[in-house]
């Protein structure tokens, strides 16, 4: 399988700040690849490096095998969907979509036809004559998508494109983007700070922290087998147990992660391969589909326990805050974590 | 509990409090209190006197007695189309157009640099540098230019030392552009106008470019547009409101100016200096009023053309 984008030891420095620090990634052709991380973690800079809006301070970027370092944005076969959509306010929707074809000298009849097809594809057929200001946020988002896709790029870059939409619309667009990517078979590189978005859409996710990549993996592995403390805490919620307690429970000095939903209240005798801790039930949060219990352990650490509310009957919470409780989990559910960032992937 | 400092409010029931409550309940009263003084000043005093002046354009001026009588006539307005008067209008109009075009061309790069490449202190420096010439008296600047452009002045000395003397002689020899020296040529007058009105062009263009989100330029490049295409397709169309606003200044200021044409350039009236001469030296107020109408009409035509070009669509 060919590589759509390949980063080799890429760094980008702004003054003293290393926005991207020796990052290496291989993005497969046709993959839905997400870059996930908090703001300032370097994910957007990586996207801009691929688009050509930034040039690397060191390292090499290859796009479909060709060295892209030093190429201007207009010399690259990638297109971007911008966070603020960046639609041209003085052009109508059709001219916006046809812009890429126009500057490449495609004949007028063909570019109008292709622009209308692209608008059709994002369910905005018949909106060609409108100006961007007359559209809603979700519609502008689709126009931006059509404008990028009409050029038939081999790699589509999406810079937090759903960030400005409300929750319902965002979920709907997530599904549509995923469907579109399968249908077109082109590489999508999706930047987001929303971990559920990254998990639900991507084939693989790279987790960024402080300019470096912590882990690149499938959503399932990322959640079930986080490599570092940062990944365990950023992707989903996790209990990271450190220090003496970690050694006592797992037998290793490294911290480990245990997901709240893998912890359960103690009942009956301790089974083989299980560990048990005791603590004071501090807080109970009812969250609808689940209830979260917050325990204070003897050493002062907090441990979260999440119990799915699978019964339709309105059962009152089985425990009250202030109770002393024992909780258990399977040894296999513990994932040993590394604190150091693994630079290589 | 509340540790925030709060401005003392008038005690309930005090006249001030009742007045502020009244304004709160009646926003229209509040608005009219704010707007009536400037509207009086602008509407009654400015527009009133302007209309009175224009009305005098219909009065009759007796050439022999030099007296103005309120007998209504269209003679003054038809007189505008006499060749000698019409020449003045054409001369002023073509200068205003040339000055506006040249100002836009000169101002654009400076405005672009200010908007896109400067920030913080550098930007403040550029703002001050652009406006600094406006702090000096306008007449002083115009006089300074007469000296700069005079025979044996700095401009000519400079051109001679560059070995471009013959070129200057050739340019000064072109009818309608030249004259005997730079300071008595149309070209010299044009240079002074461009210099004096340039800040009025730079600032609106700069403001329009400032509003242009950088992501639009990136999107254009991303879609495959070369820098020249991005400029023609995105930057220029979106800065047209700024250019239009600036050109309204340069156009109308040139149309109404009466000092520069007297100090620099060949003899011959401009609309502004004609108004000045008619009402001051000659005392022909009706003719001056008729001439005053010329820039108003020209600017109205100009605005409608600019509007038709779509300059105000993006506002």
Residue B235 is predicted with a pLDDT of 94
Stretch A299-304: mean pLDDT:
90
Q: Which residue matches tokens 């700040």?
A: A17
Region of residue A160 (left: phi > 0; alpha: psi -120 to 50; beta: else):
left
Stretch B75-102: mean pLDDT:
92
pLDDT digits (tens, 9 = 90+) for B93-134: 999 999 999 999 999 999 999 998 998 899 999 999 999 888
Give percent helix, percent strand, percent coil of chain A, each to the nearest 5.
Answer: 30, 30, 40
Give me chain B's average pLDDT, please.
Answer: 87
Cβ pair A52:B221 closer than 8 A: yes
CA–CA dist B255, B270 (Å, integer): 8
In angstroms, the separation between the Cα of residue A320 and the nearest Cα of chain B is: 33
Residue of B nearest to A84 (CA): B215
* Ordered structural domains, chain B, with CATH: 75-308 (1.10.3720.10)
* A76, B213 contact by CB (below 8 A): no
pLDDT digits (tens, 9 = 90+) for B207-218: 999 989 999 999
Percent of chain A with pLDDT over 70: 97
Residue B1 is predicted with a pLDDT of 46
Whether chain A has a CB inside 8 Å of the CB on B232: the answer is no
Q: Does residue B3 carry a pLDDT above 60?
A: no
Cβ pair A103:B218 closer than 8 A: no
Percent of chain A with pLDDT over 90: 70
Chain A contacts of B313, Cβ < 8 Å?
Answer: 90
Residue A343 is predicted with a pLDDT of 40
Chain B contacts of A82, Cβ < 8 Å?
Answer: 215, 218-219
Residue A316 is predicted with a pLDDT of 65
State ipTM.
0.85
DSSP H or E stretch at residue A156: strand A155-159
Q: Where are the domains of chain A?
A: 3-226, 237-336
Q: Which residues of A touch B (CB under 8 A)?
A: 51-53, 72-74, 78-80, 82-84, 86-90, 99-100, 102-104, 147-148, 151
Residue B53 is predicted with a pLDDT of 85
Stretch A249-271: mean pLDDT:
89
Q: Does residue B138 carry a pLDDT above 90?
A: no
Stretch A143-169: mean pLDDT:
91
Task: Tell me the CA distances in angstroms from A88 to A20, A101, A140, A149, B137, one per residue in order.
Answer: 30, 15, 11, 16, 42
The secondary structure of A192-224 as a DSSP string is: ES-HHHHHHH-SEEEEEETTEEEEEE-HHHHHH
Residue A341 is predicted with a pLDDT of 52
Residue A163 is predicted with a pLDDT of 82
Question: For A103, which of B229, B237, B238 is closest by C-beta distance?
Answer: B229
Q: Does residue B219 carry a pLDDT above 70?
A: yes
Q: Does residue B201 carry a pLDDT above 90?
A: yes
Q: Any residues with CB less than 8 A from the CB of B69 and at least 6 apart, and which?
A: B59, B60, B62
Residue B52: other Cβ atoms inside 10 A: 10
CA–CA dist B186, B194 (Å, integer): 12
Q: Which residue matches tokens 């100009």?
A: B302
Q: Does residue B197 carry a pLDDT above 90?
A: yes
Stretch A183-195: mean pLDDT:
93
Stretch A1-11: mean pLDDT:
89
Stretch A67-87: mean pLDDT:
92
In angstroms, the separation between the Cα of residue A249 and the nearest Cα of chain B is: 47
Q: What is the pTM of this model?
A: 0.80
Cβ pair A82:B225 closer than 8 A: no
pLDDT-based confidence at residue B65 (cuts at 50, 70, 90): confident
Q: Any residues with CB less than 8 A from the CB of B144 and at least 6 apart, and which?
A: none
* B50, B43 contact by CB (below 8 A): no
Domain A237-336 listed as CATH 2.40.50.140:
yes
Nearest by Cα to A78 from A187, A161, A154, A184 = A154
Residue of A nearest to B219 (CA): A86
Size of interface A-B (CB pairs under 8 A): 67
Residue of B nearest to A50 (CA): B222
Residue A344 is predicted with a pLDDT of 39
* B178, B171 contact by CB (below 8 A): yes
Give φ, ψ of A28 to 5 degrees: -75, 155
Q: Is the dihedral of CA A262, A263, A267, A272 positive or negative?
A: positive
Residue A6 is predicted with a pLDDT of 94
* A289, A308 contact by CB (below 8 A): yes
Question: For B225, which of A74, A82, A83 is closest by C-beta distance?
Answer: A74
pLDDT-based confidence at residue B310 (cuts at 50, 70, 90): low
Give φ, ψ of A210 to 5 degrees: 50, 45
Cβ pair A51:B215 closer than 8 A: no
* A63, A76 contact by CB (below 8 A): yes
Question: For A99, which of B215, B223, B226 is closest by C-beta distance?
Answer: B223
The CATH superfamily of A3-226 is P-loop containing nucleotide triphosphate hydrolases (3.40.50.300)
A interface test, pick of B214, B220, B221, B223 with most A CB neighbours within 10 Å: B223
Residue A317 is predicted with a pLDDT of 64
């Amino acid at each position: 399988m060919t590589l759509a984008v390949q980063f080799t030891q890429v760094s980008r420095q702004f003054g003293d700040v290393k926005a991207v620090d020796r990052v290496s990634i291989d993005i497969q052709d046709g993959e839905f690849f997400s870059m996930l991380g908090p703001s300032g973690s370097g994910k957007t800079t990586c996207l801009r490096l691929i688009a050509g809006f930034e040039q690397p301070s060191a390292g090499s970027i290859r796009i479909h095998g060709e060295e892209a370092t030093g190429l201007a944005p207009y010399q690259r076969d990638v297109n971007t969907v911008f966070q603020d959509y960046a639609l041209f306010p003085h052009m109508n929707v059709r001219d916006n979509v046809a812009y890429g074809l126009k500057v490449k000298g495609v004949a007028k009849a063909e570019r109008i036809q292709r622009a209308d097809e692209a608008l059709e594809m994002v369910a905005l057929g018949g909106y060609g004559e409108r100006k961007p200001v007359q559209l809603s946020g979700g519609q502008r988002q689709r126009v931006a998508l059509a404008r990028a896709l009409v050029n038939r790029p081999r790699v589509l870059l999406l810079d937090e494109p759903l960030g400005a939409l409300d929750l319902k619309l965002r979920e709907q667009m997530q599904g549509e983007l995923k469907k579109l990517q399968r249908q077109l078979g082109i590489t999508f590189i999706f930047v987001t700070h929303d971990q559920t978005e990254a998990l639900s859409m991507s084939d693989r996710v790279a987790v960024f922290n402080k300019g470096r990549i912590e882990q690149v993996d499938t959503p399932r592995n990322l959640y079930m087998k986080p490599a570092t403390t940062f990944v365990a805490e950023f992707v989903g919620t996790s209990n990271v147990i450190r220090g003496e307690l970690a050694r006592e429970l797992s037998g290793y000095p490294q911290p480990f992660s245990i997901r709240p939903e893998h912890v359960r209240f103690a009942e009956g005798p301790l089974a083989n391969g299980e560990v048990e801790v005791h603590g004071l039930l501090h807080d109970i949060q009812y969250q609808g589909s689940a209830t979260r219990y917050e325990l204070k352990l003897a050493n002062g650490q907090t441990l979260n326990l999440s119990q799915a509310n699978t019964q339709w009957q309105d059962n009152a919470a089985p425990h009250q805050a202030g109770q002393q409780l024992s909780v258990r989990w399977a040894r296999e559910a513990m994932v040993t974590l590394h604190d150091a960032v693994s630079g290589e992937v | 509990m509340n540790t925030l400092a709060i401005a003392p409010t008038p005690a309930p029931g005090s006249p001030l409090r009742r007045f502020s409550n009244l304004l709160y309940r009646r926003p229209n009263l509040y608005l009219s209190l704010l707007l009536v003084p400037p509207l009086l000043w602008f509407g009654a005093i400015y527009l009133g006197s302007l209309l009175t002046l224009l009305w005098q354009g219909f009065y009759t001026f007796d050439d022999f007695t030099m007296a103005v009588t309120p007998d209504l006539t269209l003679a003054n307005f038809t007189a505008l189309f006499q060749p000698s008067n019409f020449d003045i209008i054409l001369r002023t109009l073509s200068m205003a157009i040339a000055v506006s075009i040249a100002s836009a061309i000169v101002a654009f790069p400076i405005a672009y640099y200010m908007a896109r490449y400067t920030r913080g202190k550098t930007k403040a420096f550029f703002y001050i540098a652009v406006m600094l010439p406006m702090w000096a008296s306008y007449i002083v600047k115009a006089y300074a230019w007469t000296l700069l452009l005079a025979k044996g002045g700095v401009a000519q000395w400079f051109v001679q030392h560059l070995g471009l003397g013959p070129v200057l002689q050739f340019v000064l020899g072109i009818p309608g552009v030249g004259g005997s020296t730079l300071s008595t040529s149309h070209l010299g007058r044009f240079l002074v106008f461009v210099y004096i009105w340039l800040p009025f062009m730079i600032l609106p263009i700069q403001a329009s470019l400032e509003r242009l989100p950088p992501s639009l330029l990136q999107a254009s490049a991303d879609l495959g547009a070369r820098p020249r295409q991005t400029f023609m397709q995105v930057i220029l169309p979106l800065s047209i409101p700024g250019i239009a606003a600036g050109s309204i200044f340069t156009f109308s200021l040139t149309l109404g100016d009466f000092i520069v044409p007297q100090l620099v350039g060949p003899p011959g009236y401009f609309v502004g200096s004609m108004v000045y001469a008619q009402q001051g030296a000659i005392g022909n107020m009706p003719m001056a009023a008729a001439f005053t109408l010329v820039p108003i009409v020209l600017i109205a035509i100009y605005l409608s053309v600019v509007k038709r070009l779509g300059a105000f669509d993006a506002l």
